[in-house]
Amino acid sequence: MSVVLKTTGLAKRFGDITAVGGIDLTVNRGEYFIVLGPSGAGKTTLLKMVAGLIEPDSGSIEIEGRSVDNLPPERRNIAFLSQEYSLFPHMTVWENTVFGPMMMGWSEREMHSIGVEMLNMVHLFDRKDAYPTELSGGMQQRNALARALARTAGLLLLDEPLRALDARLRLSLRWELRKLSTALKITTLHVTHDQEEAMSIADRIMVIRKGRIIQVGTPDELYNQPATPFVANFLGQANFIEGTIISSGDVTMIKDLYGREFRAPPSSFKEGERVVAAIKTERMRISEEMAENTIEFEVVRRMFLGRFVDYTLKSAEGEKFYMKVPHTVDLLEPGQKVPVRMPERNLMVFGYPEKGLKEELRVE
């Protein structure tokens, strides 16, 4: 497997702010790699350093095995779709799209074929003679995306490429983007704050926060084996129980702040250690009776979300929990009391976060 992009200790500060705090990143050939982080995490800064548009304070970048630290953007063999993409206002959709291939001296036939393919992908072929000012914001973004893709560079850099699009189009473009990058064997580094987007198309995801790497892995690994409570909550949504370890070994026994006891999978925490147990909202189970790992809740709020129903629950102690249930399950009514079980195997136990749980979960 060959490496297309490798950054080592890449860092950038703006005054007191560490935008990127030393990032080691490896993207393999053909990979669709997503950097996921809340706004302000340093995604754009990272991407612009790779593109050669921001000079790092320290660290190095290799593209296709060669150092590009001293190369200008146009010599890095990259295509970059920036967050503040700009189309050439005096060019039509078509001219904007085939601009890269034209500059690279492609033949008319090659240019025509890539132009048609890209504009079909972004559903803009019928607007090919329009000028940017005649397009909606979403259309301009799709045009900019088509232009970046048509450059067919060794490395495609995308900064929130689906941001300004309406929900339906965003979903369909997600898939087409992924399909196309596989078909054209493009290596892609895509940054986004949208966890669903990341989960649905990435081969691998790097979660960053405040310029630092929290975890790197496949969508499945990040979802099922989050390294921190932040990741557990950022990919999907989770509920948290704070407590201390009663015993560990084959079963981890936790006593929470209200004296309730919970069983969790084996761990190596020590008796008395302060921990946080997390459970994804869709792994809570409506129960018939009070039993192990069960809390009685009152249903506070019900929200229909397509195939799922989202419940907000409140315990007698006043805690708020969230539960996501397939629409096929009998509905609960607001005001109703219901025992909800947190199955042992679905609990994930973490050491108590250094700066407290609230700060750990905060999305900037």
**Residue whose CB is less far from ligand ADP, 37 or 115:** 37
Site for Mg ion in 42-81 (CB under 5 A): 43-44
- 276: β partners: 242, 350
Side-chain half-sphere CA neighbours of 240 within 13 A: 22
How far apart are CB 359 and ligand ADP at their closest, in Å? 17
Least distance CB 37 / Mg ion (angstroms): 9
Q: How far is the CB of 10 from ligand ADP (least distance, A)?
A: 12
Q: Which is nearer to ligand ADP, 16 or 333 (CB)?
A: 16
CB of 299 to Mg ion, least distance (A): 38
Q: In what order do the strands lie in the sheet with 337-341?
A: 285-286, 337-341, 294-305, 308-315, 320-326
Residue whose pair of structure tokens reads 């315990």 in the numeric block: 315
C-beta of 191: minimal distance to Mg ion in Å?
A: 7
Structure tokens at 130: 């329009």
Each residue 34-73 as x (binds ligand ADP by CB under 6 A) or -, in order, gives ---x-xxxxxxx----------------------------
25 binds, among ligand ADP, Mg ion, none (CB under 5 to 8 A by kind): none
Nearer to ligand ADP, 150 or 164 (CB): 164
C-alpha dist (Å) from residue 30 to 27, 67, 155, 177, 180: 9, 20, 9, 13, 11
What is the distance of C-alpha 343 from the center of its chain? 27
CA distances from 159 to 13, 37, 84, 115, 283 (A): 20, 12, 9, 22, 32
**Contact flag: residue 17 with ligand ADP (CB under 6 A):** yes
Contact of residue 19 among ligand ADP, Mg ion, none (CB under 5-8 Å per partner type): ligand ADP
| CA gap 271, 253 in Å, rounded | 9
The single-letter code of the amino acid at 213 is I
User: Considering only residues 19, 61, 114, 157, which one is a binding residue for ligand ADP as defined by CB under 6 A?
Assistant: 19
Q: Where along the sequence are the contacts to ligand ADP (CB under 6 A)?
A: 14, 17, 19, 37, 39-45
Q: Where along the sequence are the contacts to Mg ion (CB under 5 A)?
A: 43-44
